[in-house]
Amino acid sequence: MLKLNLENAKIDEKEIMKYKSQVENIHKDLHRRARDEEDFVGWLELPTNYDKDEFERIKKAAEKIRKESDVLLVIGIGGSYLGARAVIDALSSSFVNLQKEEKRKKPMIFYVGNNLSPNYINELIEILEDKDFSVNVISKSGTTTEPAIAFRIFREILENKYGIDEARSRIYVTTDKERGALKTLSEMEGYERFVVPDNVGGRYSVLSAVGLLPIATAGIDIDRLMNGARVAQEKYSDSDLKYNECYRYAIARNILYKSDKLIEVLVNYEPKLHYFTEWWKQLYGESEGKDRKGIFPAGVDYTTDLHSMGQYIQDGRRNLFETVINVKKPNLNIRLNADDDNLDGLNYLAGKDLDYVNKKAMEGTIEAHVSGGVPNIMITIDELNEENIGELIYFFELACGISGNILGVNPFNQPGVEEYKRNMFRLLEKPGY
Ligand code: PA5
């Protein structure tokens, strides 16, 4: 169960309530648009309104990949891979790819098509030499350069390794139901195809086939993930600001932004959440950074980054606030033992567990940063499991939709990313540019 704490954000309740009618209007507007196929608000009802047959097909495909492959290559960029990676990393062992096969019992998931580095591709090709692998290529537009190049390379490798027919049965395509080069290609080749719903944009698509096929292949229970999101959908369907913590978070951000807190730093004390932060950064950065407006979304992994970014956050420009994702209970803990010699001076911790130390680091840091002028928002979940991650995903997506609208931007488009593409295509002499 997710809980929001705004105590250390030092926001007056009256300030929050000033947003009441604005947020109620946005709430109504989003819910009115949720089933419009031409709009981009389909994510709002995705935990309940999704293609159930496709959902079963995803589970079957995941099972098949698990049986016949040591590796699943997830080819995609931005919203087409970050959600899957966020969930898989949060819910798997940090060393999952190094686990012995008998223990792991599922393919290793590798990501490609999210950069243009020849080093990365060559190193991956080398790793795959003695491994059986399948590919899930994910692109809503079906035309994005990075995944298209990676798919061309790895399709050829698959065909050379297994022959055209078997290669076909190892390729899974997730793309638009009607448009795009990838859709045409997959139809011609007969690849198994999954759909990115028309009314769900890339960065809001983790709970569709985009995220669900890689997540299920990684051995994560997608029914439980959807259940968690469903709980959140139900919980936040009441727009009452006294109870709706999702809307309170969106409003708190806006209040802080208006008092010149222009950077939000998402903080975790659990390295498994590193990619969750990357997903969150894309969600908020692409949704809100428009028309010369928007909070800059940044992220840190503590306590690691207390030894790098900690100084700035404590003492640099006072234009930021922190949002901590606090995981109450670790999945595994470790007790610190007494040592006869105590040469490291750590016996004062003997008998305590490591999570206790981690939590004290968190409490001490919050206290220091708040007194140093960094407002703090805290979001607590009980532990890392499918339901809680599902709930957290929905919480942040909905808060983003509300927050972007409060800000007065369209949180569902991304016109700004086109400019670099135009330049790149011109420089690459792509026909028509
Ligand atoms: O959120 C978005 O829409 C983007 O980040 C896209 O996900 C990203 O650009 C990849 O696009 P596509 O899935 O069309 O390849």
* Residue 183 near ligand 1, beta carbon < 6 Å: no
Give me the mean pLDDT over the 232-244 stretch: 97
Ligand 1 mean position, distance from CA 416 (Å): 12
* Residue 272 near ligand 1, beta carbon < 6 Å: no
Let me know if 31 is a catalytic residue: no
Ligand 1 mean position, distance from CA 421 (Å): 13
Ligand 1 mean position, distance from CA 202 (Å): 5
Ligand 1 mean position, distance from CA 195 (Å): 14
Neighbouring residues of 377: CB distance < 8 A, sequence distance ≥ 6: 4, 5, 6, 8, 9, 249, 252, 253, 321, 322, 323, 324
* Residue 278 near ligand 1, beta carbon < 6 Å: no
Length of the chain in residues, anyone? 433
* Residue 141 near ligand 1, beta carbon < 6 Å: yes
pLDDT score at 17: 98
How many CB atoms sit inside 10 A of residue 248's CB? Answer: 22
Q: What is the DSSP letter of 199?
A: T
Q: What is the pLDDT of residues 261-305, one digit of tens each?
A: 999 999 999 999 999 999 999 999 999 999 999 999 999 999 999
How many angstroms from the chain centroid is the CA of residue 228? 15
- To test the pocket of ligand 1, the residue of 77, 143, 186 to mutate (highest count of ligand atoms within 8 Å of its CB) is 77
Q: What is the pLDDT of residues 53-81, one digit of tens each?
A: 999 999 999 999 999 999 999 999 999 99
C-alpha pair distances (Å), 385 with each of 58, 72, 275: 20, 22, 15
Both tokens of 332, joined, read 């595994």
Please pick, among 100, 178, 307, 418, the residue that the annotation labels catalytic.
Answer: 307
Q: What is the DSSP string of 381-402?
A: ESSSSHHHHHHHHHHHHHHHHH
Angstrom distance (rounded) from CA 56 to CA 369:
47
For residue 138, which atom of ligand 1 is closest to its CA? 13
How many angstroms from the chain centroid is the CA of residue 390? 11
- What's the chain's Rg over C-alpha atoms? 23
Both tokens of 345, joined, read 């001076």
pLDDT at 252 over 90: yes
* Residue 175 near ligand 1, beta carbon < 6 Å: no
| End-to-end Cα separation, the chain, in angstroms | 50
Q: Quickly tell me which residue has 């339901």 as its tokens.
A: 387
Least confident range of 123-127, 142-146, 226-230 = 142-146
Ligand 1 mean position, distance from CA 66 (Å): 26
Beta bridge partners of 112: 75
Let me know if 131 is a catalytic residue: no
* Residue 139 near ligand 1, beta carbon < 6 Å: yes
C-alpha pair distances (Å), 244 with each of 42, 92, 237: 20, 30, 8
Contact between 277 and 379 under an 8 Å Cβ cutoff? The reply is no
Angstrom distance (rounded) from CA 279 to CA 274:
9
Give me the mean pLDDT over the 335-356 stretch: 98
User: Band of the pLDDT at 197, cuts 50, 70, 90?
Assistant: very high
Q: Whose CA is nearest to atom 8 of ligand 1?
A: 78
Both tokens of 200, joined, read 């769900």
Give me the mean pLDDT over the 317-328 stretch: 98
Ligand 1 mean position, distance from CA 253 (Å): 25
Give me the mean pLDDT over the 83-91 stretch: 98
Give me the mean pLDDT over the 6-15 stretch: 97
Instruction: Report the relative pairing of strands 71-75 and 133-139 from DSSP bridges.
Output: parallel
Q: Whose CA is nearest to atom 3 of ligand 1?
A: 202
pTM higher than the cut 0.85: yes
pLDDT at 416 over 90: no
Q: CA 128, 130, 136: angle at the middle one, nearest 5?
A: 35
Mean pLDDT (the chain, rounded): 97
Both tokens of 242, joined, read 């006294």
Both tokens of 112, joined, read 């490609």
Please pick, among 146, 278, 286, 322, the residue that the annotation labels catalytic.
Answer: 286
Angstrom distance (rounded) from CA 158 to CA 168:
9
How many CB atoms sit inside 10 A of residue 304's CB? Answer: 14
Let me know if 421 is a catalytic residue: yes
Angstrom distance (rounded) from CA 170 to CA 159:
10
**Crossing angle for the helix pair 82-91 and 386-407, to the nearest 10 degrees:** 140
Q: What is the pLDDT of residues 213-237, one digit of tens each?
A: 999 999 999 999 999 999 999 999 9
- To test the pocket of ligand 1, the residue of 82, 116, 144 to mutate (highest count of ligand atoms within 8 Å of its CB) is 144
Closest CA to 398 of 139, 42, 78: 42
Q: What is the 3-state secondary structure (H, E, C) of 280-339?
A: HHHHHHHHHCCCCCCCEEEEEECCHHHHCCHHHHHHCCCCEEEEEEEECCCCCCCECCCC
pLDDT at 421 over 90: no
C-alpha pair distances (Å), 403 with each of 23, 76, 255, 264, 369: 9, 27, 11, 13, 24
- To test the pocket of ligand 1, the residue of 141, 173, 183, 419 to mutate (highest count of ligand atoms within 8 Å of its CB) is 141
User: Band of the pLDDT at 419, cuts 50, 70, 90?
Assistant: confident
Both tokens of 231, joined, read 């709980």
For residue 147, which atom of ligand 1 is closest to its CA? 15
Q: CA 416, 420, 421: angle at the middle one, nearest 5?
A: 100
pLDDT at 105 over 90: no
SS3 (DSSP) at 236: coil
pLDDT at 10 over 90: yes
Q: Whose CA is nearest to atom 15 of ligand 1?
A: 139
Q: What is the dihedral of CA 240, 241, 246, 248, to 10 degrees?
A: 170
